[in-house]
A and B are shown apart, each in its own frame.
Chain A
Amino acid sequence: MRKVVVLVLSLLPAVLVPQAFAVIDITVTEGVEQPLPVAVVPFGWSGPADSQPIFMESTIGNDLARSGRFAPMEAKDMPQTPTEFAAVNFKDWRMLGMQNVVIGSLRETGPDSYEVEFRLLNSFNGSQLAGFRVPATRKQLRRTAHRIADIVFEKLTGVRGAFDTRIAYVTVKKTGSNSRYSLQIADADGFNPQVLLESDEPLLSPAWAPDGKRLAYVSFEGRTTSVYVQDIITGQRQKVAANPGINSAPAFSPDGRRLALTLSMGGDPEIYVLNLETRGLYQVTHDRSIDTEPSWSPDGSRIAFTSDRGGGPQIYEASAQGGPAQRLSFEGSYNARPRYAPDGRSIAVVHGRDRRYQIGVFAPGQGGLEILSKSRLDESPSFAPNGSMIIYTTVGARGSELAAVSTDGHVHQRLALQDGEVREPAWGPFLSGQ
């Protein structure tokens, strides 16, 4: 009898509890789109304050902010500035709703020898999402910061970061009646510019090879236009197209073996594809109007280009093997210089309207076009390899300047670091090895 009673009593809670405390179900079907809060805490530094080689947190924070996806917290708002894991008070960060906290330190380990340590922490559960400790020379420190920003970006957005990448562009310095053209590459944030080539004749249209080791460009050396491919590290270059008439607008195929370009040797400018290994050449477009500014689709199957065959410049597309072209842009009367987004779903263009030229993005077949830039004369859009940003030129106080906009149009930034005008920026590929 007692056994039965005990059994019944022991069964009671099991039977009654779920009934009494049934779990409420709530479905969240909406969200907000806003920059992600992130706190990049000032890195610790082992040496004297005036000898600190870099403020890692600034470079990382700027990278993240420039992407438009992040809203870095200001240092003065931070509840604490820990530089190591044990010193982090997760509760403090949690109270502020700050989930993502980056901490780290920089130590001098010898002459021109440093050690960088960083951790990306999730304050909501006290876990570490990412972290590393690497040695670096003074020159490598900035790149290390970009790598950290990349890791944070990827961990928090699911998209590979593109801060540790480079851009190529042409600068023009005018002295009297002479102009000095310079082909340069720099870090994606505009730092560490490096001159690859200087010329008194115009240099145009730098284009990255997918391996990030070569650049194609157009040079007016010898008063004729020629297309060159140059090795960035060795400086060795090769003239790959020097046909009668125009040789311009080179674009590497995604496999890096071919070059699409505009040649007018047939009379009017047409799109051609040049095989860099065999030197074989074939024509993609066949139209009496101007066809130029080719851009490969990421899968290498199609080539988009600008053509005025319809009267004004619009974006068309043809098979990379050649064949009939198909019009892609229908918004407005001026759309030129197409660049495929890395995911192939949208195309950035220079969109002209009411005598203003701005950077726009449209998805072929979807209709509509979104204007991303704000100025009157914005040119030469180029996607970051992760598609999160577009770099372009705009007209500023000193003439043409570098500018960047996040692909969602939220964050605009000028990269006015160079002397003189900047033209035709090209965002390089991911650097190998991540």
Chain B
Amino acid sequence: MTLRAFSLSLILHAVMLALLVFSFDFQKEELVIRPQDVMKAVSVDSRQVEQEINRLREIEQKKEAADRQRERELQAKLKELERKARAAEEQRTTEEKRLAELAEKKEKQRKESEAEEKRVAELKKQKEDLEKKKKAEEDERKKQADEQKAKEAAQAKQDLTLIDLHSARIRAAIAQQFNTVGLPHGLSCVLFIRMVPGGEVVAARIEQSSGNDVFDRRAEAAVFRASPLPVPDDQRVFEKMREIRLRFAPD
């Protein structure tokens, strides 16, 4: 496109140059055949000469007119050509501008889409990293939880042994204070007791009465007389047996 426009303009310039050269030749020729010289040379037949001169003048005039016409036409044509060239140039520039803009726009779009792609890729990577990290954390957490669970299970088992041991001691301590003298046989009651660290009984509530006040009170008395009860020194284990449900069921 650019090439074509360029060749077109080259041709137009060539034509214009040629036209200019030709017109210069015509001027030269006119200088060669000047009317003063013609009149000096031809004095014999003035009329004829006049005629001839007229005819020549006429021809000359015609020629001049034609030349002028031609020149005008050429000028117009040149103008037209120039206009056309200008228009073409203008169009070319506009087109070039448009194309440049288009290219720019396209480039921009490309760049944008490239950036977008990059951004998406980065996001994706980020997301993957995050997930990976999350999974690692999750795994670690799970591992720790499992370890903690195992540890707790071991601890709980150990605690249970301690609790069993102290339960037996508490049972013995209370049995030693549980005075059954004169009580009817076959009775039982349930007491709910609460202790403070060290084993001191701070509350004893009859959860299920034997139906016999004396029996219930003897059970209650046994608890308080046995207080402080033998509880574990370890505060953590103690917490597990801070509250005890005591069933009194003498054989």
Contacts and interface: CB of A to CB of B under 8 A. Distances in A.
A370 interface: no
Contacts of B214: 155-158
Interface residues of B, number: 42
A25 B171 CA distance: 10
A8 interface: no
Contact of B182 (A28, A94, A158): A158
Contact of B244 (A26, A34, A125, A408): A26
Interface stretch (A16-24, A132-140, A199-207, A395-403): A16-24
A122 interface: yes
B181 A22 contact: no
Interface stretch (B9-17, B75-83, B104-112, B235-243): B235-243
A28 B175 contact: yes
B217 A25 contact: no
| Residue from B163, B174, B181, B241 whose CB has the most chain A CB atoms within 10 Å | B181
Given A23-B243, A24-B244, A99-B225, A30 B250 contact: yes
A10 interface: no
A97 B224 contact: yes
Interface of A is mostly: loop
A25 B245 contact: yes
Contacts of A277: none
B186 interface: no
Nearest to A153: B182
A159 B183 CA distance: 9
Given A28-B249, A124-B204, A158-B213, 18 more contacts: A21-B242, A23-B192, A24-B240, A24-B243, A26-B246, A28-B175, A28-B247, A29-B251, A30-B250, A31-B218, A33-B180, A69-B181, A99-B221, A125-B220, A155-B214, A158-B214, A158-B215, A408-B181
22 contacts: A21-B239, A24-B243, A26-B167, A26-B170, A26-B244, A27-B248, A27-B249, A28-B171, A28-B219, A29-B249, A31-B175, A31-B180, A32-B175, A36-B179, A97-B225, A99-B217, A99-B225, A122-B217, A124-B221, A157-B182, A157-B214, A158-B183
Q: Which 10 A-B pairs have the closest CB atoms?
A: A31-B180, A31-B178, A158-B214, A97-B225, A33-B181, A27-B247, A30-B175, A99-B221, A124-B224, A24-B241
